Structure 1
Amino acid sequence: MKLLLIEDDLDIGAGIQRALQQHDLTVVWVRTLASAMTFKTSKDFDLAVLDLGLPDGDGLTWLTMLRAQEGLQPVMILSARDSLRDRLDGLKQGADDFLVKPFELEELIARLQAMIRRLKGFTQSGLRGCGLEIDHQAHLVYLDGQVIHLSRTEFQITQLLLQRIGRVVPRNTIEELALSNETASSLDMHMSNLRKKLGRQQIRTVRGIGFVIDRSDSLAT
């Protein structure tokens, strides 16, 4: 599995690279925003660790670009910015996790391993979790083995939430990647329809941030 490390500090970057390589991860390390901007497709990497204070710009610029390009790879922000507003902004821009510097390598590794476990919910043709299964090739959604008929937008929303199961998906990420030219207010309508079809317990609202499908013991590995 390939991890993209975007970190300008030599000591921090080298330490992370050594630690992750010992856990059988291939680490591609870049130190500038310009270098990071060349990594933007699903073939470039599987997950990323992102510093925000880069020498030539803000790391959030890369994250915004990635999500705009429909890149859905998990991203952990690793930053000295420690205010609640900074953490919320990072999550709203599409980060899956936010770890504040200084940090312990053990915690970083544990959080990345959790992200990798979520990635293992993918199968060759789809992904699974919480009784739901998406078959990308057939463009079908199953709930407990039964086909659930969803609109194109509902399918895309369900896919986004399952791809990041256990993590809150910000409203603006869903709006950008699933709603196309629809108005932002229509997201609540789609969520209401999805809850009727999938069950109200499947999708949890996190007020002020977005939506999440919580992990359960049914997550495939």
Structure 2
Amino acid sequence: MRVLLVEDEPEMASALRDALAGSGMVLDHATSLADAELITAPGLHDVLILDRQLSDGEGLSLIPKLRAQGNLVPVLVLTARGELTDRVEGLEQGADDYLTKPFAFEELVARLRALKRRPATMQRDIVTIGRLSYDHFNHEARVGDNAIELTRRELLVLEALLRRLGRMVPRSSLMEAVFAIDDEVQPNALDTQVSRLRRKLADADSGVIVNGVRGVGYLLREEP
């Protein structure tokens, strides 16, 4: 596993280098946001460890820059700022995990390995197919600058299809994603939601279609 550490405290960086090397990881080190932007590139690192209080600014500001470049590397924020508001802010700004100092190196290593195991589609903030883009964090579907108005259940259907992009999603999986255990669900409820979603995607000229196999499931794919 190749890790990028963005940390300007020499003693902390040295300790992390030794600990991660002992766990079989390769560590690249940047001491500032500017250096991190020069070092990182899409697909180069498996995980990024990011401090918040850096010499040239707030560490969280790096995350949207990476995403804008198409860099989907999972980000673990490692910082002394551990108040609830700090943790919430970090996660809302796009961090995949948040760990406060002081910490146990064993826990850090376990979290890094968990982030690397996470499926690529779960790491993405925004997924694009055809002319459709979907922001998982804000739960918003767009075609260009235009938002597609979807109901809560239509969004849940779309999210479930996007998480298994390119694969048939069984009806049972879609039912679990869209309806709660206590919901009173009519036999054709799922088909109704899919039909409405399919129509809205077509009306928006999204460039994607929802194919179905009766009694089996549905597949989201780009129009030929």
Q: Counterparts in 2 of 1:52-131, with a 5 A limit?
A: 52-118=52-118, 121=119
Give the letter for the 2:25 counterpart. Answer: L
Unaligned runs of 5+ residues in structure 1 are 129-138, 140-149, 161-168, 205-221
* Normalised TM-score (structure 2): 0.61
How far apart, in 2, do the equivalents of 1:103 and 1:200 lie? 40
* Offset from partner CA, 1:129-169 (integer Å, 9 cap, x none): xxxxxxxxxx9xxxxxxxxxx8753xx64xx8xxxxxxxx5
Look up the equivalent residue of 2:112 and give its one-letter code. Answer: L
Please state whether the residue corresponding to 2:38 is helix, strand or coil: coil
Secondary structure of 1:37 counterpart: helix
Q: Shift in Å at residue 23 of structure 1?
A: 1.6
> Please, which runs of 5 or more residues in structure 2 have no aligned partner?
123-127, 162-168, 180-224
Does 2:132 correspond to 1:170?
A: no
1:182 matches 2:146: yes
Q: Is the 1:3–1:46 Cα contact (8 Å) retained in structure 2?
A: yes
Say if 1:67 and 1:94, in contact at 8 Å, map to a contact too: no
Deviation at 1:184? 8.2
Matching residue's letter, 2:147:
T
Against the structure 1 CA distance between its residues 58 and 191, is the aligned structure 2 distance closer, same or farther, given a 3 Å change threshold? same
Residue 90 (structure 1) shift: 1.2
Distance 1:201 1:60, change over 3 A: same
TM-aligned CA distance change 1:185 to 1:68, over 3 Å? farther
The 3-state SS of whatever aligns with 2:146 is coil
How much has 1:43 moved relative to structure 2? Answer: 3.3
Deviation at 1:69, TM superposition (A): 1.8
Question: 1:44: how far off?
Answer: 3.0
Secondary structure, in 3 states, of the residue corresponding to 1:77? strand
Closer, same or farther: CA 182–190 of 1 in aligned 2, 3 Å:
farther
SS in 1 for 2:113: helix
Task: Specify the alignment match of 1:45 in structure 2.
Answer: 45
CA contact (8 A) 1:2 1:26 kept: yes
CA distance in 2, matches of 1:5, 1:97: 14
Between the aligned residues of both structures, percent identity stands at: 33
The Cα offsets for residues 11-56 of structure 1, whole Å up to 9 and x where unpaired, read as 1111111111112211001111110121443133221000010011
What CA deviation, in whole Å up to 9, does each residue of 1:66-89 have, x standing for no partner? 122222111100011112221111
RMSD over equivalenced CA pairs, Å? 3.3
Distance change (3 Å), C-alpha of 1:185 and 1:30: farther
Change (3 A) 1:203 1:60: farther
Contact 1:91–1:170 (CA under 8 A) maintained in structure 2 = no
Report deviation, 1:183: 3.1
Larger Rg: 2
Q: Corresponding residue for 2:34?
A: 34
